[in-house]
Amino acid sequence: MLVHRFTAPGALAVVAAALLAGGCGGGSSKDTAAAPSSGVDASKVCGGALDSAASKALRRLADADRFDGSGGANEAGGSGTFSVQNVVGHLHDEYSKREACWVYKSGDDSGDPLLEIRFSASRTYPTASAEESAVEGVSFPVGVYARVGTSGADLFFRCSTKAPSAGAYVGDTKYVKAELFSPAGKIRGDSAARDRITVLNSVSRLVAQKAGCASEADLPMSPSWPDSA
């Protein structure tokens, strides 16, 4: 599977053939989320950021209707409740300070999330390459770049943002990277690639709206699918 990850400010270079959204998996634990309960509906996870299509997609991915631990927090002791406003406020911060949404299938006591979603400011985005065609994954016509692999999805969209201070971890940028980590062993259904990008696109649309770049981002309400998805 091929995903392009970016290094911290300065180079922010594309790293070819890296694990798709692999960085999302570190540091998340159900111990940091709310105590298990009867769960909530898919439409309530990630601060209510999933639209109807994305809610249905999440239910297919989990083969379940109820979810726990949807209130994510950054790893630096931030709020225990995920919000799109906090996502936008931490786009230019280092990884541990960025807002995360962790979603668990209700009743799953493994400690590993079904999905983890994060956003970050990016100076550039990957481009299709000859190497990509030889690596497992599916590209989607969403944003400026979107690709799904066995362990998650990356979506880049246009969104010009300014660093909050001269000492910010990432300076002024023209793009936002959305990444979704989802262990292949936990995912169900025959449309996993479509469903992952549907979930990530839904949250991304709200992030773009809150950041004031919805028109620039031009993310679709209903993503179109390549024949291979």
d(CA 193, CA 46): 20
Q: Longest C-alpha distance within the chain, in Å? A: 47
Q: Which domain holds residue 117?
A: 3-7+16-217
**Domain assignment present for 222:** no
Compute the C-alpha angle 74/25/208, nearest 5°: 55
**Domain assignment present for 102:** yes
Do the beta carbons of residue 151 and residue 185 sit within 8 Å?
Answer: no
**Domain assignment present for 225:** no
pTM: 0.78
**Domain assignment present for 92:** yes
**Domain assignment present for 229:** no
- Cα→Cα distances 33→30, 70, 115, 146, Å: 5, 8, 13, 29
Overall number of domains in the chain = 1
Question: Helices 52-62 and 192-211 meet at what angle, rounded to 10?
Answer: 140
Buried (b) or exposed (e) across 199-220, using 16+ Cβ within 10 A? bbbbbbbbbbebbebbeebebe
Minimal CA–CA distance to 20: which of 177, 165, 157, 180? 180
Do the beta carbons of residue 129 and residue 139 sit within 8 Å?
Answer: no
**Domain assignment present for 51:** yes
d(CA 159, CA 183): 28
d(CA 56, CA 41): 10
**Domain assignment present for 62:** yes
**Domain assignment present for 205:** yes
Q: What is the pLDDT along the chain (229 residues), one digit of tens a residue?
A: 344 433 333 333 333 333 344 445 555 545 444 444 578 889 999 989 999 999 999 999 999 899 886 555 555 445 567 889 999 999 999 888 888 999 988 888 887 889 999 999 999 999 866 445 545 788 999 999 999 988 899 999 999 999 888 888 998 899 999 999 988 788 888 889 999 999 999 999 999 999 999 999 999 998 877 655 5
